Amino acid sequence: MNVKSISSLFIDSEGFNEQICEVFDSPDLTIWYRGLEEDTLLVTVGYASTYGYSQEDFNNNPLLWLDSVYQGDKWILESAICQQLVGKSTDVEYRILRSDGEIRWIRERATPLVNNEGRVIAISGSVYDITEYKMENLQLHNQLKMNGNRMELHETIRLQQGMIFKYKNINGRFIHTLCDGELLYRLGLIPSDVVGKQLCDFLPKTMAEEKQTYFQLAWNGEERVTYEAEFNGIYYLCVLSPIKRGGEVVEVIGSCIDITERKKAEHALLESEAKYRLIAENMTDLLILFDVNGNGIYASPSHESVLGYSPAYFESNNTMHLIHPEDLSIVSAHFEEVIQRKTPTKVDLRLLHAKGDWKLFECTGTPVLGVNGSVEHIMVVAKDITEQRKAEELLWKSEKLSLVGELAAGVAHEIRNPLTSIKGFIQLFQQGVRKEEYFHVILKEFNRVEDIIKEFLSLAKPQEIQLKPVNIPSLVKEIVTLLESEAHLKNVEFLIEIEQDIPMIMCDANQLKQVLLNLYKNSIEAIDIKKEGLIRVTVRSKHENNLLIQVCDNGVGISEDRIKRLGEPFFSNKEKGTGLGLMLCYRIIKDLKGTLSFESIENQGTTVTVSLPLIIDETNVTVN
């Protein structure tokens, strides 16, 4: 394309030539003309200066206008040229790179010139520098975006559950520049109560002075200053963090969270701990906490008054040496049982008093589980039952003597019968009548007398408690033998039903005899003497785990209210009874890890069931 001068292009029309020269020489107009057929380019002085060049520069480089387009925007101009060549006007904005290296935004409007045949023969247009306009728009856009972000930030702060605030040190005063959040409103304040003000403007003087100390620490540059406070019944935790620029603190930001529920829980826990400690420190029973290795962690003050040792003696120490040697294996077994089964257990044991004597305690061990479900500690509560057991022993002996006294008449009557037979045969011998069968009868009667006396003495004589295998069917029959005479006097008959192959159990025969004797006598006394009485004694096994002994009578029965109180001392269903006998029965069966239960219907009879484990671990049986 050849760029022609204005004068050579319009040489034939001198007047028009002068006007055109004025236009294209004007620095205020930024227009251009490209003749496609003549390969002509005309630019005004103003157009050339927009690009930072002169008209001569465009004469020397006809493609300077295209080379000046910013590389990233050339596609915009190329697209516009394509439209112009097909006869369409364009209005586009793009960037140019001036000769001085400055990037400017321009807006170009171009119109194609079409001949009679519809062919584009030239294109003319104008450019406008819109850089300032673009910068203003960009600044406005950024400002709007910043405002939007700021509004979004304020909205986020406003809606968050806690509270965020900022403050600066202005003339020696800590002035809040921001404060918002849900917690602020729950405290009974709004942003305008805080922003632009110092602490003493919206807080009580004492509280403001206390917080001022923390504010100063954060302003001095200390990281993560924390404190807890309470305002209008709400507890909150605050964290202060300094904001530094160039190593200097220019602002401090604080964040607060509501800890009211946590504080209430802590307060309730402290109250609970105080109550439990008050109980532990004033109870007469021993309370001690062990770890799984048997070392003491806590011991109640009652240890000093009950055992003569200070609580510190038990803490961080293993005190197994205070347990009686005979009870040590039992205690160890129960300790392991608590850890393995994670269930409470009870055991009676003897502990050595500081004065050297042994005290008997009833202990209950309870596992304390950790978060993972394993046993972390064992809590033991021990009650001194030394005097109680002595009293029970006295009651036991008293009840035995009472039973022996009541049996004496029946035994005397029972012995009189065989003695009468023996006396008669002796009189026959004196008369010279002698037969062999007489000697067999006399011997049989002597054996019966011997059996009765033996059973009577075994019951009356105090014996040391010994666990041995016992044949329950034989024991049941022996007790019936003792009471048969008394039963006959009261028109009562015993019926014994025993299963085959009843196994032996480990117990103290003398104790179990006393239980059965009490139950038999209660049944005899419950039967009206005017009616024919029947006592059915049944012995059978149940699921190969338990042995059941049932004593069923057709006596007057027991009311439901009275059944609930059976076993209480000095409560009896009999007119002159003390209730001590049945209380001891419950105790004996409990020590043998068994159960004693009653079922009764008034005026129809009562059934007593004794359930004993077929296999009794000797280490689990209480021995007094």
Radius of gyration of the chain (CA): 57
Q: Hey, how many other C-beta atoms are within 10 angstroms of the C-beta on 261?
A: 9
Q: Hey, how many other C-beta atoms are within 10 angstroms of the C-beta on 52?
A: 16
List the strands of the sheet with 546-553, edge to edge. 492-498, 533-542, 546-553, 605-613, 595-601
* Residue burial 294-319, b: 16+ Cβ < 10 Å; e: rest: eebeebbebbeebbebebebbbeeeb
Question: Whole-angstrom distance between the N-terminal and C-terminal Cα of the chain?
Answer: 130
Q: Which residue has better confidence, 535 or 457?
A: 535
- Span 340-368, pLDDT tens digits: 888 888 888 889 898 888 988 989 999 98
**DSSP of 180-197:** ESHHHHHTT--HHHHTT-
Q: Report the distance separating Cα 608 and Cα 553, nearest Å.
A: 9
Label residue 460 by pLDDT band (50, 70, 90).
low
Whole-number average pLDDT of the chain: 79
Candidates 238, 185, 186, 192; CA nearest to 215 is: 238
Residue 294, SS3?
A: coil
Helix ranges restricted to H, 431-579: 436-460, 472-489, 509-526, 560-563
| Residue 412 pLDDT | 66
| Residue 408 pLDDT | 61
Q: Which residue has better confidence, 25 or 29?
A: 29
Dihedral (CA of 373, 374, 376, 377) sign: positive
Q: Report the distance separating Cα 96 and Cα 130, nearest Å.
A: 11
Q: Report the distance separating Cα 69 and Cα 313, nearest Å.
A: 95
| Residue 11 pLDDT | 42
Q: What is the mean pLDDT of residues 592-604?
A: 85
Question: What's phi and psi for 201, nearest 5 deg?
Answer: -80, -20
79-84-90 Cα angle (round to 5): 75
- Span 439-448, pLDDT tens digits: 776 777 777 7
Identify the weakest region by mean pLDDT among 45-49, 98-102, 230-234, 395-399.
395-399
Residue 15 has pLDDT above 50, yes or no: no
Q: Report the distance separating Cα 102 and Cα 195, nearest Å.
A: 45
| Residue 466 pLDDT | 67
Residue 26 has pLDDT above 80, yes or no: no
Q: What is the mean pLDDT of residues 216-232?
A: 91
Candidates 376, 375, 385; CA nearest to 349 is: 385
Burial of residue 464 (CB within 10 Å: 0-12, 13-18, 19+) is exposed
- Span 321-339, pLDDT tens digits: 888 888 888 888 888 888 8
- Span 258-280, pLDDT tens digits: 888 888 888 888 887 777 666 66
Residue 516 has pLDDT above 80, yes or no: yes
Residue 397 has pLDDT above 80, yes or no: no
Q: What is the mean pLDDT of residues 373-382?
A: 87
Label residue 557 left, alpha or beta by phi (over 0 means left) and psi (-120 to 50 means alpha).
Answer: left
Q: What is the mean pLDDT of residues 71-84?
A: 90
| Residue 17 pLDDT | 47
| Residue 182 pLDDT | 86
Residue 310 has pLDDT above 90, yes or no: no
Most confident of 82-86, 279-283, 581-585: 82-86
**DSSP of 556-579:** S---HHHHTTTTSTT--SSTT--S
343 contact partners, CB below 8 Å, separation of at least 6: 337, 367
pLDDT above 70 covers a percentage of the chain that reads 79
Q: Report the distance separating Cα 359 and Cα 383, nearest Å.
A: 10
Residue 154, SS3?
A: helix
Q: Hey, how many other C-beta atoms are within 10 angstroms of the C-beta on 543?
A: 6
Label residue 578 by pLDDT band (50, 70, 90).
very low
Residue 221 has pLDDT above 80, yes or no: yes
Q: Are 6 and 42 in contact (CB under 8 A)?
A: yes
Angle, in degrees to the nearest 10, between helices 509-526 and 436-460:
100
Query: Which run of H or of E encompasses 588?
Result: helix 580-591
Q: Are 520 and 492 in contact (CB under 8 A)?
A: no
**Which residues, listed in sequence order, are joined to residue 80 by a DSSP beta bridge?**
none
Residue 301 has pLDDT above 60, yes or no: yes
Domains annotated on the chain, with CATH: 6-129 (3.30.450.20), 160-262 (3.30.450.20), 283-378 (3.30.450.20), 389-620 (3.30.565.10)
Q: Report the distance separating Cα 6 and Cα 140, nearest Å.
A: 43
Q: What is the mean pLDDT of residues 392-399?
A: 66
Identify the weakest region by mean pLDDT among 35-39, 162-166, 256-260, 438-442.
438-442
Query: At 180, which amino acid appears?
Result: D
Identify the weakest region by mean pLDDT among 65-79, 198-212, 491-505.
491-505
| Residue 144 pLDDT | 59
319-302-299 Cα angle (round to 5): 45
Q: Report the distance separating Cα 43 and Cα 22, nearest Å.
A: 12
Query: How many alpha carbons lie under 13 Å from residue 134 in its C-beta half-sphere?
Result: 12
Q: Are 600 and 621 in contact (CB under 8 A)?
A: no
Candidates 44, 51, 43; CA nearest to 26 is: 44
Record the pTM. 0.36
Q: Report the distance separating Cα 147 and Cα 455, nearest Å.
A: 107
| Residue 505 pLDDT | 83
Q: Hey, how many other C-beta atoms are within 10 angstroms of the C-beta on 361?
A: 23
Query: CA distances (Å), 108 to each of 77, 81, 137, 155, in order?
Result: 9, 11, 18, 43
Residue 5 has pLDDT above 50, yes or no: no
pLDDT above 90 covers a percentage of the chain that reads 11
